[in-house]
Amino acid sequence: MKKESNMFTLRNVSYKNILNVENLSIPEGVTFCVLGESGSGKTTFLKLLNNLISPDEGEILFREEKISELETVELRRRVVMLPQVPVIFPGSIRENLLLGLNFAQKDGVADEELYSLLERMNLVKELGEDAATLSGGEKQRLAIARVLLMKPDVVLLDEPTSALDENTEERAIEEVMERSRKDNTTVVMVTHNPRLASRHGEMVVELHEGKAGAVREVYGENERYCRN
């Protein structure tokens, strides 16, 4: 597993009575899964990583810089969060895909590449179709595709496949994993599904009542516990 440096470091971070993380590091280029039941603080954890909310105490570092001191828009261009309920903007599928690139201040791509990505996400649609007509699962896949096009440093996924059946879920997550490996993207994925975490996570942490347990590193079928 490639771990050259830490993408995030959390030190004595607390937020209200929801989350309390004493010491946790997320290395660069890994898929880091956060397991936990509803109400365990998983979404709060993600929001802290791109400064959607700020901790009451402690500090969070992004590439050894304090998140609190970084320019917020620039941070969110590099650390992109996909919420459980995807945001779909008025307009066509093409416009929704390209909005992410525009926000990231990156060049657009040809329709051929957009169609290829949609096909890999098992979303066979015309780019000119109104995105508002898509089903919940289709909107989720469209939102995932939009994030992948942006090629950020970090992708934060909050239950990204909750509206998908198992086969479609697997195909979508495989595409995320393939892209992240190719681009050395750090993926932080929140899930309540241990199967999904064990299959795709290189490192797994479980939140229980807002507290993080030991980080579990996963190597194929073998697992070992490491110190936070």
Q: What is the mean pLDDT of residues 152-168?
A: 85
Confidence at residue 96, expressed as pLDDT on a 0 to 100 scale: 96
The CATH code of the domain that includes 27 is 3.40.50.300
The residue among 224 and 73 whose pLDDT is bigger is 73
Q: What is the mean pLDDT of residues 159-167?
A: 78
- In a domain, residue 62? The reply is yes
Q: Are 213 and 225 in contact (CB under 8 A)?
A: no
- In a domain, residue 116? The reply is no
The number of CA neighbours under 13 Å toward the Cβ of 215 is 18
Nearest to 149 by CA among 200, 93, 91, 108: 108
- What total of structural domains would you count in the chain? 1
Confidence at residue 101, expressed as pLDDT on a 0 to 100 scale: 94
Mean pLDDT of the chain: 89
Could you give phi then psi for residue 51, rounded to 5 degrees? 65, 30
Domain containing residue 40: 6-88+152-226
**Residue ranges in the chain assigned as alpha helix (H):** 42-49, 72-78, 93-103, 111-120, 136-150, 166-183, 194-200
Task: Using pLDDT thresholds of 50, 70 and 90, give the confidence band for residue 165.
Answer: confident
Cα angle for residues 221, 23, 185 (degrees, 5° grid): 55
The distance in angstroms from the start CA to the end CA of the chain is 17
Confidence at residue 172, expressed as pLDDT on a 0 to 100 scale: 84
Please write the tens of the pLDDT for every residue from 111-129: 999 999 999 998 999 999 9
Q: What is the mean pLDDT of residues 215-219?
A: 73
- In a domain, residue 79? The reply is yes
- In a domain, residue 102? The reply is no
- In a domain, residue 96? The reply is no
The percent of residues above 70 in pLDDT, for the chain, comes to 93
Confidence at residue 4, expressed as pLDDT on a 0 to 100 scale: 61
- Which residues are 156's β-sheet partners? 81, 188
The distance from CA 152 to its chain's CA centroid, rounded to whole angstroms, is 10
- In a domain, residue 118? The reply is no
Q: Are 21 and 45 in contact (CB under 8 A)?
A: yes
Tell me the pTM: 0.89
The residue among 214 and 55 whose pLDDT is bigger is 55
Instruction: Name the least confident of 27-36, 164-173, 182-191.
Output: 164-173
- In a domain, residue 27? The reply is yes
- In a domain, residue 163? The reply is yes
